[in-house]
Structures are given as structure tokens and as C-alpha cells.
Chain A
Amino acid sequence: MKKKRKTNKALIWIVLAAVILMALGIWKFMAKDPFQEGNAYLKALDEKDITETEKTIRHNQIANTFDQIESGEVSVFAGFSDSLLLGDSRMYGFQSYGFLPESRVMAAAGETFANATDYIDVVQTLQPDVLYFSYGINDLGLQLGGDAQGYADFVETQVKALLEVSPDSLVVINSIIEATAEANTQSDYWSLAPEYNEALKTMTEKNGWIYVDNSTLSGGGTADIYQADGIHFYSTFYPVWAQHMLEAAKDALLNS
């Protein structure tokens, strides 16, 4: 009798313990994780694809830069902060006159489009938003590509090589800015610039790149922009040229 009472007592304790454990389990199961919402928010941000956000931000920044340039809040050169300029001694003026930092201008006297790929590592590292090219006078003198079409084909190959390493860069190719008539007498080929420009324009448009027609600025070699040698430009020309390039690239930049 006594033994039976003892067994019953133990059974009651076991059942009670089981009920408590079960209640605790249910409570634990039902209880809301206090960090659930916060952790979910952090996780969502961690996993967020920022491609579209970056695009929107970039678009806003470009639009803002253009507005600031227009209002005079910043200089026109602010529009080149994420660009890379490649070219010859004329392009080098952007750096030598102090308009743009050395890191943004890959240019030197005597260089031709053949030198553009010398900077492939820089292009790969910087991944510039825009690649601006301005070569021509030296290329004409050396008859790079043989003729106008051959030159345009060569330029196309060079640019595509750079785009291999920086595929999202916008390409802007300047027309060859003519030298003055007096300077043209120094070379048999410099006067061929208009013909070469036609070929460059066709090739550029075929590839969906941007061609900058600078003839309005140079007046075919008659404008008051040339130094005594009839080839290089006064420093005052550079802000005008920069503005012209930016205008040509504006729509493409805003829609990129």
C-alpha cells in the first residue's frame, strides 16, 4: 500500500515536470524573436544589389554637376572628375595649364593613337566614366593607317582594346583640330584633317560612340585660339574646348 502511494507520488512529479517542460517548449516556440525584425533589416541591406542604386546616384550626380557648371558654382572641369583624357601635346594642355590633375590626363607631345593602349593599365584601374580622345596631327604626319579609312579602322581597334578592360566607359572622340593654313605648309598631310575627320565620324557613330566636331571652335584653322606655331592652343581655349566636349557627351552621360 505504502509502495503504491510512493509510485503515485513519483508519477505525479513526472507528469508535472513533463507539463512544465511542454509549456516552456510551447512558450519558446511561440515567443517572437526580439531581433527578428532588426536582423531581417540588416540582412536585407547586406544582400542588397546596389547596381541600380549606383546608377541612379551617378545620374543624379552628373545632372547636379551640369547644373553647378551652368550656374557657375563649379568650373567646367568638375565635369571631368571621373573621366580620363588621352591624347597628344594639345590634350596635355589640360594638365600643363593646371585645369585637370595629372592622374586624369594621359597625354604627351608626339603621341599618336598608337600610344593610347600604352595606358591600358591606367584605364583598367580607374574604370573612368568617360574616355576622351584627342589625337591627329602627329597621326596625320606619320600617315597612321595609310589613309583616312585605314586610320579610322586603326582608331576603332585601339579604342576597342581599351574598352576590353573598361567596358562601361563612354567613348568620346574629338575630331582632329586643324592647324592654321600657315602651319599646314610644314606637312604634306596636315591639310587632310577634314577627310580623316569624315572617316572618324562615320566609324564613331557606327560604334555608338560620341564624335565631337571641333570645326566650329577652330574655324578651319582661322580662329584666335592658336599659339605662334599654329598648332597648339592658348590656355583660354581649354575651358571652351572642355565645355564643348561636355556638351557633346551630356545626353549620353545623363542616360548612361
Chain B
Amino acid sequence: MKKNMYKLYGGLACLVLSLLVGLFTILPPYRSYLPSENRSAASLPAIGLNGLENGSIQSGWESWFQDQLAGRTFLMNTAYLLKKAAGQKVINDVYLGSNALLLNPDKPEGTIYEDNAKALDDFAQRLGVSSTLMVVPGAASIQTEKLPANAPVTNVNPYLDELSETEYQMLTFADVRPALEEIKDEYIFYKTDHHWTSLGAMAAMKDLLGKWDITLNESDFDFLPVSTSFQGTLADKTGSFIMKDDIDIAVNKNQADYVVTWNDGSKTGSMYRSAALNEKDQYQVFLGANQGLVKINTTNINGRRLLLFKDSYANSALQFLIPYFESITVVDPRYYYDDLSTLTANETYTEMAALFSWNTFATDSSLSMVLASQGDVQ
């Protein structure tokens, strides 16, 4: 009798808890953005017969409910612990490695990576300025010893080899792998985020600058810690909540003054956004949130003017480029909607580079679209 009562109370408690979670989930306000995952929350599906037929309404509701679920973070963290305890080695395409989370690289989408490289070469020819391409593979491709044994990681090397071996007219491929592999035991990638650390970025930029006969001396930079509590996108994808990263900024000892003109036209004397250190995505301390166009003008007088196409990997790398240029025009093609001719009409560049993570370069065609959208370079 007593046993039955316990069962009844237990069942009732579960029911009430489920009802409460459901109630708190469907009651407004609703989340429009998930800061822990650095993405917009799924919106409510539009109701229509088509949606019913093809099932998009059901999957839309499912996504919406997942994103609005009350206690979502707590549940994800609990699920992570349970999966880890059960010996699971991969969650949401992120490997639970040795003291690190490693994102499985994307497989290339069609010929996007080849098209992007070709578009860069064509653009370089039209502009009359040689271009250098650097595509950065992530930690899973460089720090392979951190991966779980026999992890079936996408091998990006054949594609990078292909880019390296292809002969272009005015495009040079800067293979960053040797530079990163040389220091792969050091803290060159964040443990909880898909980006590289300032140390990793410095090694790569030393390599890139070398292509232009510019020598980067490591001793010219002081690394100053600004955070030890960074939990990046990979932590969010997996639900990991114990591991944390350090963020260092790199300060050039002879740094010339500079002015950053942001996409909205505002200007500051800093490439850093210090407020990001108090927010979820602390990597945004480097150049803030993604934006289409940022111009950096320095007081250097050396005749070097760089046009840089990039994704967020370059944000921390800019610390190592600013000291060596008069100006750097930074274009993120994923967010750039203007005509490139406005940048090339009355401005000249001495160097041009494209710096992308493998995932962006292999799956995002916005670079080739932006470069091709411009007719004749003026």
C-alpha cells in the first residue's frame, strides 16, 4: 500500500515537473537569440498546407521547442555528463578529446573551395595585385593526438594539398599547416572554441607576412592575459561546462597608433572590444561581432596597404598584421553587401590576402560571389 503511494507521488511529481517545464517553455517571453550557442533561436514555423504536407511545420515546431525549452542549458549540461560517463566520444560532430573539444572539419560542399580560390585569382588579375590565400584547418586536423582513438575525422589534407599544388596566375597558397604543426603541442587552439589562440594566430601570421618579405619577431609582442573563463562554441555544442579557456591579447611593443573605422562608420583607436570579456562569446574581444567592412588606418609610413578578405579566424590575427601596414581594409564576404568597386575605385592596395578557416572556405560561396559580383575593377 505504502509502496503504491510512493509510486503515485513519484508519478505525480514527474507529471507536475513536466507540466511546469512545458508551461514555462510555451509562456512568453521567447528567446530570439541563444547567447550560449551564439546563434539566433529558431522562429515559429509559418502555418500552411504545404508545410503540413512536407513536414516542415512539425520539424519547425520541434526546433522552436528545443530552443525555447525551459532549463535548456541545465539539461544540456546534464546530458553532456551522462554521455561522457557512458563513454560517448562525439557530440554534435565535436570530439570529446584529451582535455579539448575538437570540431570535426566539414566535408567540402561541391567545388566551393576551388571556386573561391579561382575567384580570388581572377579578382587579383583584375585588380593587378597579387593575392595570398591561407586556409586554416582546425585543431582536429593539427592536434590529432588529442582526438579519441580511431576518431573518423574528415581528412582535409587532400583538399589543402590540391589548393597548394594548383597553379594560379596571381594567387599564391600559403600553407599554414607546417607552421602550426611545428608548435602543435602548445596552446594554439582554444579547448572549448573552434578558433585559434593568439599564439596560433601569431605563428600563422609570421608565415603569411614572410610571403611579403616582412619579418615578424615574436619578441616584439607581449602576451597579456585578459580572461581565464572563456567557454566557446564547442562547449555550447556539446554541453561541456567544466573546461575553460584563457584568452591573451598580443601587444606589439612598437605599435603605431591606429584608427579603426567600423562597419557602421563609427571610429575607435582599438581593434579590441573589451566589453566582450563580460559576455558569452569572449572571442569577440578581437574585432567585435562579424561585420562586412572594417578599415584600419595606422600612422605607419611604409607604403603597404592590405586588402584582406576573411572570416572570424582573422579577427585575432589582425593583432599581428596592424604593426606592418599603413592601412588594412578588412572585408568579411559573408556580411558584405556593397559593390567592391567602391573599395577599389580610388584606393590602391599593395597586398591582398584571403584568410579563412577550412569550414568557411569549403562550404561558404559568399567569397566567390562577392568577388564575381564586381564587373571591371576601377
CB distance from A78 to the nearest CB of B (A): 5
Contact A54 B267 (CB under 8 A): yes
Contact mask B239-258 → A, CB, 8 Å, 1/0?
A: 00000000011010000011
Q: Which of A42-85 contact B (CB under 8 A)?
A: 42-43, 45-46, 48-50, 53-54, 56-57, 60-61, 64, 68, 73-74, 77-78, 81
CB contact list, B325-365 vs A, under 8 A: 326, 345-348
Q: Which residues of A contact B326 (CB under 8 A)?
A: 60, 64
- Provide the residues of chain A in CB contact with B78, threshold 8 Å: none
- Select one of A35, A41, A46, A78 contacting B346, CB under 8 A: A78
CB <8 Å contact, B258 and A38: no
Shortest beta-carbon distance, B213 to chain A, in Å? 20
Q: Tell me if B269 and A43 are in contact (CB < 8 A).
A: no
Known: A38-B224, A38-B249, A81-B346. A57 touches B259 (CB 8 A): yes
Are B299 and A39 in touch, CB under 8 angstroms? no
Q: Is the CB of A38 within 8 A of B226?
A: yes
Total A-B pairs, Cβ < 8 A: 70
Does B227 reach chain A (CB closer than 8 Å)? Answer: yes
Partner of A39, one of B226, B248, B297: B226
Within the complex, the shortest CB–CB distance from B276 to chain A, in Å, comes to: 10
In the assembled complex, the Cα of A184 lies from the Cα of B298 at a distance in Å of 52
Please determine whether A77 and B272 come into contact, CB atoms closer than 8 angstroms: no
User: Known contacts A38-B224, A57-B298; is A73 also within 8 Å of B270 by CB?
Assistant: no
- Other-chain contact of B228, A34, A46, A53, A73 (Cβ < 8 Å): A34
Which of A41, A49, A56, A101 is close to B251, meaning CB atoms less than 8 Å apart? A41
Residues of A within 8 A of B374 (CB): none
How far apart sit A73 and B129, CA to CA, in the bound complex (Å)?
A: 13
On chain B, the residues within 8 Å of A73 by CB distance are 348
B269 contact set on A, CB distance < 8 A: 45, 48-50, 53
**Residues of chain A lying within 8 A (CB to CB) of residue B267:** 50, 54
When each residue 134-161 of chain A gets 1 if its CB lies under 8 Å from chain B and 0 otherwise, what string results?
Answer: 0000000000000000000000000000
- State whether B272 touches A45 (Cβ < 8 A): yes
Distance in Å from the Cβ of B94 to the closest Cβ of chain A?
Answer: 28
B110: chain A residues at CB < 8 Å are none
Residues of A within 8 A of B268 (CB): 45-46, 48, 50
Complex Cα–Cα for A205 and B251 (A): 48
A43–B225 touching, CB < 8 Å: no
The distance in angstroms between the C-alpha atoms of A8 and B365, with both chains bound, is 78
Question: CA A37 – CA B226 in complex, angstroms?
Answer: 8
Known contacts A42-B272, A50-B267; decide if A60 and B225 are in contact (CB<8 Å): no
Residues of B within 8 A of A53 (CB): 257-259, 269, 299
* B-chain residues with CB within 8 Å of residue A74 when the two chains form the complex: 346, 348
Contacts of B224 in A (CB 8 A): 37-38, 41
- How far, in angstroms, from A167 to B249 measured CA to CA in the complex? 39
Q: How far is the CA of A35 from the CA of B225 in the complex (A)?
A: 6
- Interface size range of chain A in the complex: 20 to 34
Q: A41-B249, A50-B269, A101-B345 are in contact. Are A61 and B225 (CB under 8 A)?
A: no
Query: Bound state CA distance, A46 and B272, in angstroms?
Result: 8
A38→B222 CA distance, assembly (Å):
10
A24 to chain B, nearest CB (A): 20
User: Contact between A60 and B249 (Cβ–Cβ < 8 Å)?
Assistant: no
Please determine whether B274 and A39 come into contact, CB atoms closer than 8 angstroms.
yes
Evaluate contact between A56 and B257: CB separation under 8 angstroms: yes
A49 CB contacts on chain B under 8 angstroms: 269
Given the interface contacts A53-B299, A57-B297, does A35 sit within 8 Å of B270 by beta carbon? no
A50 touches B249 (CB 8 A): no
Cβ contacts under 8 Å, A35 to chain B? 225-227
Smallest beta-carbon distance A47→chain B, Å: 9
In the assembled complex, the Cα of A56 lies from the Cα of B301 at a distance in Å of 10
- Which residues of chain A are within 8 angstroms of B270 by Cβ–Cβ distance? 42, 45-46, 48
Say yes or no: A42 contacts B226, CB within 8 Å: yes
Q: For residue B226, which residues in chain A have a CB less than 8 angstroms away from its CB?
A: 35, 38-39, 42
Indicate if B22 sits at the interface (CB-CB under 8 A). no
Q: Is B51 an interface residue (CB 8 A)?
A: no
Closest Cβ of chain B to A252, distance in Å, is: 20
Give Cα A201 to B378, complex, Å: 37
Asked whether, in the complex, the Cβ of B249 is within 8 Å of the Cβ of A42, the reply is yes
Give the docked Cα–Cα distance between A73 and B251 (Å): 34
A60 and B302 alpha carbons, distance in the complex (Å): 10
Query: A residues within 8 A CB of B225?
Result: 34-35, 38
Shortest Cβ distance from A104 into B: residue: B346
* Contact A57–B272 (Cβ < 8 Å): no
Shortest distance from the beta carbon of B266 to any chain A beta carbon, whole Å: 11
Contact sample, A vs B, 10 pairs, CB 8 Å cutoff: A38-B224, A38-B248, A38-B249, A45-B270, A45-B272, A50-B257, A53-B269, A56-B299, A60-B301, A64-B303
